[in-house]
Amino acid sequence: MMIKEWFTAAELAGKIGMPARATNVTRKAKSQNWEYRQITGLRGVNFEYHASSLPQETQEALGLEGVSKPIQAEKNDSGMVTIQIYSAKAKTWSKAKPEAHMVLPKGYLPKPLSEQELSNLFALEAPDSTMQPTINVGEVVLVSRVANKTAISTGVFVIETNMGITIKRLKPNLAGTEIKVCCDSDKFDDETLKREDFDKSIRLVGKVTKSFLKEIS
C-alpha cells in the first residue's frame, strides 16, 4: 500500500504539533525550511510538505515517524530542478543566504535551460514595494545570476545599492553609456546614471525571468 508522505498546509492545520490555521502552517514551514514541492494542476503556485520535515509529534500522529527524506529532492531527477530561495533581509548580497528551497518541474521554467544555466538560477523574495504592481512585496521571483559588470539589456534585475538589496527595471540607452534605474510603482522616482557611476554605486546580482512565483509565506 502506498503511504502518503506529502501534505498541504490545509491538511496539516490543526494536527498535533501544528498551528490551527493553514496560513500559519506555511509560515512555520518556511521558517523551519521544510522540504516541499510544487503541486501541479492547480491554479496558481501551491505547495505540499514532506513528512520528514514535520515535528516528531506530528509524524507520530500521522503514523509516519522516522520517514526518510523524499528521493526526488535528494536525487534531483531530470524532470525537476531545486531552486534555493533567498531573503532580501541581508544588507549586502555577500551576506545573503538561502532560507528555503523548492523543487519545481523544469517545464515550469520560462524556457529549456542548460545545466550551467540551471545552476545560475535562484529565487528571491521581493523586499519592497518599488516594483508594484508588477512584483508585490514578499512575492518570490526566479532570478538568473549575472556577472556584476555585464552588458545590460532592458529588463528587471536584482541589484545591490548602499541601501541594500532591491529589484529594479534597468533601461540602458542605445550606446550603453547611461542606465535608467526605474521603479514600476509611481510612488518612487526613477534615476538616470552614467555607466561609470552605475558601476560604482550599484552591483548587479541577477536578471529576473518572466516567471513569477506567488508568495509562499
CA 6 → CA 59, 91, 165, distances in Å?
11, 35, 34
CB 103 within 8 A of CB 96: no
* Highest-scoring range by mean pLDDT, 1-5, 54-58, 64-68, 167-171: 167-171
The contacts of residue 125 (CB under 8 Å, 6+ apart) are: 85, 86, 87, 88, 138, 139, 140, 215
Is the pTM here over 0.85, yes or no?
Answer: no
Amino acid at 182: C
Report d(CA 86, CA 181) in Å as an integer. Answer: 23
Chain segment 18-73, per-residue pLDDT in tens = 999 988 998 999 889 888 876 644 445 578 888 889 999 999 888 887 677 764 44
- At residue 47, the pLDDT reads 80
- At residue 125, the pLDDT reads 86
Q: Which three cell numbers stand for residue 89?
A: 533581509
Report d(CA 115, CA 120) in Å as an integer. Answer: 9
Chain segment 142-156, per-residue pLDDT in tens = 999 888 777 788 999
Q: Which three cell numbers stand for residue 124?
A: 528571491
Assign 78 a pLDDT band (cuts: 50, 70, 90): low
Inform me whether the pLDDT recorded for 172 exceeds 90.
yes
pLDDT above 90: percentage of residues in the chain: 34
How far, rounded to the nearest angstrom, does the alpha carbon of residue 154 sit from its chain's CA centroid?
22
Chain segment 181-205, per-residue pLDDT in tens = 999 999 999 999 999 999 999 999 9
Report d(CA 114, CA 216) in Å as an integer. Answer: 27
The contacts of residue 49 (CB under 8 Å, 6+ apart) are: 6, 7, 8, 9, 12, 29, 34, 35, 36
Average pLDDT over the chain, rounded to an integer: 82
